[in-house]
Amino acid sequence: MSVRRLVCLASTLLVLFAAAIVRAQGPAAPPRRAAAGAARPLAPGAGAAGTSEQVFKNVQVLKGIPVDEFMDTMGMIAASLGMNCADCHTNDTAPGWAAFADETPTKKTARRMMQMVADLNKGNFRGRALVTCYTCHRGDHTPKVVPSLALQYGEPIEDPNDMNLYPNPSGTSVDAVLDKYINAVGDPDRVRGMTSYTAKGTYAGYETDRGEAPVEISSVAPNERTTIVHAAWGDSIRTFNGTVGWISSPDRPVPLVTLTGGNLEGARIDAVVAFPSQIKSAFSRWKVGATTIDDAEMTVLQGSNGDRPLANLYFDDKSGLLVRVVHWTVTAIGTVPTQIDFSDYRDVTGIKIPFKIVTTWTDGQATTKLADVQLNSPIDSAKFARPAPAPPLKVQ
């Protein structure tokens, strides 16, 4: 059976199940937080490890996966169907995170759909996730079964974040792109001598109700990084020590999450790109492609390390500056992207640093605006140690 026929079959089956889904009203809303002080489940060993069914209640399909991957599957569903947490889970989350385990008709439908997709992939693609919920839904609750003439005869839409690179007609090399980038940000010797990076500014995202909160960033070459958001409900900490990564945050269902898979690789990439001279050695294989972002021509470098998830780095052809990084996390039900956009480059002791960073992923979007950046300042190694599990949310 061809891939196209399988997709059509999946669409038909999904439509049958879609009748049980309650259509969401309006645009997707930010994820809801549990009530302040609500009890949260602890994974074995201080809440940092354990699989989905050990940490959460009423998990029937997505068993045996790490906590961070489990949360990414929720983002995969939200992005694929244009939904948010409350569309599948109960609207009454006042009792705390435990309420998210309550049974709903939509969750029952979702389980059947996930099993259907798993069976399609197992029976036809040797278990590879070539069919996902996004294959048919494309951001809508109900898969479309009638061809769109507007799509057929309209202008083709190019997604710059595509994993499959468009060929670069210039034939430029990886070394040429990275050398141009290093020269664009400053004197090459000065750039290569950059060993640490500290910054203060503001952070605004779904978890801060889109309000600005103070943020601190500390990085040490080649790949250590800690970000602390001082939100009104408590500190949210993301740390990568060069090998292991964690998230400690009161607004999470687990007070301390150990990063795995693509999330761990993504934390490493986020740490590396702060140091331009470290980028080339961060990947063992490179490909060169081309695309456009906001009508600007870009050269794309795609890095990979064995079976780890890929990463795309986008360099503006005119300025030579890095303007975007995209990396991916593979989950049990499909692959989800994270996009980081860099802009507002300013000179800091002879090196250009992006003062605006916008991070977009399937669970939200956040904007970091820097106000003060210091280079090559000493940073205590304790800054990158495993953070303590976050306390309950502060009452606001």
CA distances from 46 to 65, 304, 312 (A): 18, 33, 35
Residue 60 CB contacts under 8 Å (≥ 6 apart), including other chains: 111
Q: Which fold has domain 166-384?
A: outer membrane lipoprotein receptor (LolB), chain A (2.50.20)
**Average pLDDT score over residue span 50-72:** 92
**Average pLDDT score over residue span 28-54:** 48
Gyration radius from the chain CA atoms: 22
Q: Could you report the per-residue pLDDT of 330-372, keeping only the tens digit for each?
A: 999 999 999 999 999 999 999 999 999 999 999 889 999 999 9
Task: Write down the pLDDT at residue 156.
Answer: 86
Amino acid at site 262: G
Average pLDDT, the chain: 86
Residue 254 CB contacts under 8 Å (≥ 6 apart), including other chains: 40, 41, 42, 43, 47, 55, 67
pLDDT category at 176 given cuts 50, 70, 90 is very high
198: which 2 tokens? Answer: 């500290």
pLDDT category at 94 given cuts 50, 70, 90 is low
pLDDT category at 159 given cuts 50, 70, 90 is very high
Higher-confidence residue: 208 or 178? Answer: 178
Higher-confidence residue: 57 or 199? Answer: 199
Task: Write down the pLDDT at residue 396.
Answer: 58
**Per-domain boundaries in the chain:** 3-151, 166-384
Tell me, rounded to whole angstroms, the distance of Cα 230 from its chain centroid. Answer: 21
Please classify residue 56 by burial: count the beta carbons closer than 10 Å to its beta carbon, then call 0-12 exposed, 13-18 middle and 19+ buried: buried
Higher-confidence residue: 136 or 206? Answer: 136
Residue 44 has pLDDT above 50, yes or no: no
Task: Write down the pLDDT at residue 305.
Answer: 93
Residue 283 has pLDDT above 90, yes or no: yes
CA distances from 129 to 134, 170, 234, 315 (A): 11, 34, 38, 30
Task: Write down the pLDDT at residue 166.
Answer: 87
Angstrom distance (rounded) from CA 380 to CA 358: 27
Residue 61 has pLDDT above 90, yes or no: yes
- Write a three-state SS string for the chain: CCHHHHHHHHHHHHHHHHCCCCCCCCCCCCCCCCCCCCCCCCCCCCCCCCEHHHHCCCCCCCCCCEHHHHHHHHHHHHHHHCCCHHHHCCCCCCCCHHHHHCCCHHHHHHHHHHHHHHHHHHHHCCCCCCCCHHHHHCCCCCCCCCCCHHHHHCCCCCCCCCCCCEECCCCCCHHHHHHHHHHHHECHHHHHCCCEEEEEEEEEEHHHCCCEEEEEEEEECCCEEEEEEEECCEEEEEEECCCCEEEECCCCCCCCEECCHHHHHHHHHHHHCCCHHHCHHHCCEEEEEEEEECCEEEEEEEEECCCCCCEEEEEECCCCCEEEEEEEEEECCEEEEEEEEEEEEEEECCEEEEEEEEEEECCEEEEEEEEEEEECCCCCHHHHCCCCCCCCCCCC
pLDDT category at 97 given cuts 50, 70, 90 is confident
Please answer whether residues 375 and 349 qualify as being in contact, where contact means their C-beta atoms are separated by less than 8 angstroms.
Answer: yes
Fold match flag (3-151 vs 166-384): no
Provide φ and ψ at 206, rounded to 5°: -60, -40
Amino acid at site 255: P
Top-confidence range, 93-102, 155-164, 286-295? 286-295
For domain 3-151, say whether CATH 1.10.468 is its number: yes
Amino acid at site 323: V
Query: Which of 296, 363, 352 is CA-nearest to residue 184?
Result: 352
Angstrom distance (rounded) from CA 133 to CA 153: 26
Residue 114 has pLDDT above 90, yes or no: yes
